[in-house]
Copies of this chain bind each other. A is one copy, B any other.
Amino acid sequence: MPNISQRGVEMPASPIRKLAPLADAAKQRGVHVYHLNIGQPDLPTPRVALDAIRNIDHTVLEYSPSQGYRSYREKLVGYYKKYDINLTADDIIITTGGSEAVLFAFLSCLNPGDEIIVPEPAYANYMAFAISAGAVIRTVTTTIEEGFSLPKVEKFEELINERTKAILICNPNNPTGYLYTRREMNQIRDIVKKYDLYLFSDEVYREFIYTGSPYISACHLEGIEQNVVLIDSVSKRYSECGIRIGALITKNAEVRSAVMKFCQARLSPPLIGQIAAEASLDASEEYARETYDEYVERRKCLIDGLNRIPGVYSPIPMGAFYTVAKLPVDDADKFCAWCLEEFAYEGQTVMMAPASGFYTTPGLGKNEVRVAYVLKKEDLAKALTVLAKALEAYPGRMV
């Protein structure tokens, strides 16, 4: 039997995957599990998107163009304009989810061994795509104590060497909900410019910014237009994660040309997903407002609730629909498993993502969890009660 590949061995398993069988077992015991672990919004997909799918008039579900339908890309130009991001349809390549955009950005821009600097905690799958492409992720650490703000320039410069080829940010951030300030974005711009790096910027949560702070896109930064590769997706924005439609956007024609070769190899992005995504751009203002207002309330409910539990601390996330919270436990991996395996309060328990999976530096995030607020407020409130009870009962409680 031949061996699997080294990268097949090295690929990280999803931080949640280890817990999934425990959650299944809990459910089989009749325990209700509140899923605070996932990034799957429960809010409805826009009516216009569902209607577009129901009304497809195709008789052949044919390949779409490798770069995506022009009509969709042209309509996206108008969408980005609202955020002061000025593009042409040619700058936009439609991908199979934001995931494929990350992978193709890495494959097109990085050689095996090239290094990407990423602030940690970070979305765990960046690591998986880096391993797929043979690239190496180096992390600058942000801390809950400093609200996950960006470390000083020196921390980046310490990591920069001849293999450093890119900086990758997620803004607003998954898992922390942090939104980079203008000062921080300018700092990133200066490093990118000074060392001529790529800036991969994953901005799929731009709709979900809850403070008065401005959204500074990587595309707003002057003087590094040829360095920026924007990663986007309609998944979270329109609660349509399943359609697998994202985008890779760059003003750099050479990068686009390389990316297009990877796009042509995989033939085309999903056809019906593009129809849904294009229709979603016509979702009513009311849809956007209702979605937004709902997250604002959930965020308040969750963060207030977390900070009321003795020993728990969460900064106030400025965007996205996650927070990283500190718990009074010896080991969040153990605690999250214990909640599913050994604990129930009135027949209920909680599933959370241990934050260790979002750090590459060993030992970090040991007493932190990522909590998503993609549940109804009533359920969030109940989940918070269950979490408080679990922390009281947990044998590995610290403090």
Q: Nearest Cβ distance between residue A378 and chain B, in whole angstroms?
A: 18
A window 227-274: CB within 8 A of B: 227, 239-244, 252, 254-255, 258-259, 261-262, 264-273
**Contact indicator per residue, chain A 304-316, by CB within 8 Å of chain B (1) or not (0):** 0000000000000
**Contact indicator per residue, chain A 133-160, by CB within 8 Å of chain B (1) or not (0):** 0100000000000000000000000000
Residues on the B chain within 8 Å of A165, using CB: 2
Closest to A265 in B: B128
Interface centre among A6, A8, A12, A111 (most CB of B within 10 A): A8
Q: Nearest Cβ distance between residue A373 and chain B, in whole angstroms?
A: 16
Closest to A127 in B: B265
Residues on the B chain within 8 Å of A119, using CB: none
Cα(A312)–Cα(B119), bound, Å:
61
B265 touches A132 (CB 8 A): yes
B45 touches A262 (CB 8 A): no
Residues on the B chain within 8 Å of A1, using CB: 196, 226-227, 252, 254
Cα(A197)–Cα(B242), bound, Å:
36
Closest to A6 in B: B111
Q: Nearest Cβ distance between residue A8 and chain B, in whole angstroms?
A: 3
B2 touches A227 (CB 8 A): yes
A242 touches B62 (CB 8 A): yes
Report if A59 contacts B (CB, 8 A).
yes
Cα(A197)–Cα(B1), bound, Å:
8
Cα(A64)–Cα(B215), bound, Å:
31
A255 touches B61 (CB 8 A): no
Q: Looking at chain A, what size class is its interface with the partner chain?
A: 35 or more
Cα(A199)–Cα(B257), bound, Å:
32
B44 touches A242 (CB 8 A): no
Report if A5 contacts B (CB, 8 A).
yes
Report if A63 contacts B (CB, 8 A).
yes
Residues on the B chain within 8 Å of A198, using CB: 2
Cα(A268)–Cα(B196), bound, Å:
34
Which of B61, B96, B276 is in CB contact (< 8 Å) with A96?
B96
A108 touches B5 (CB 8 A): yes
B59 touches A45 (CB 8 A): yes
Interface centre among A129, A227, A255, A276 (most CB of B within 10 A): A255
A244 touches B265 (CB 8 A): no
Cα(A53)–Cα(B226), bound, Å:
41
Cα(A189)–Cα(B144), bound, Å:
57
Contact status of A4 and B254, CB under 8 A, knowing A53-B272, A128-B262: yes
Q: Nearest Cβ distance between residue A73 and chain B, in whole angstroms?
A: 17
Cα(A241)–Cα(B125), bound, Å:
28
Closest to A41 in B: B60
Report if A388 contacts B (CB, 8 A).
no
B5 touches A107 (CB 8 A): yes
Q: List 26 A-B contacts (CB under 8 A).
A: A2-B165, A8-B255, A11-B258, A11-B265, A13-B261, A40-B62, A41-B60, A42-B60, A44-B59, A44-B60, A60-B239, A60-B240, A61-B240, A62-B241, A63-B242, A97-B266, A125-B264, A128-B261, A128-B264, A241-B268, A242-B271, A242-B272, A243-B270, A270-B272, A272-B272, A272-B273
Q: Given A6-B111, A13-B264, A60-B239, 4 other A-B contacts at CB below 8 A?
A: A8-B258, A44-B60, A132-B262, A242-B268
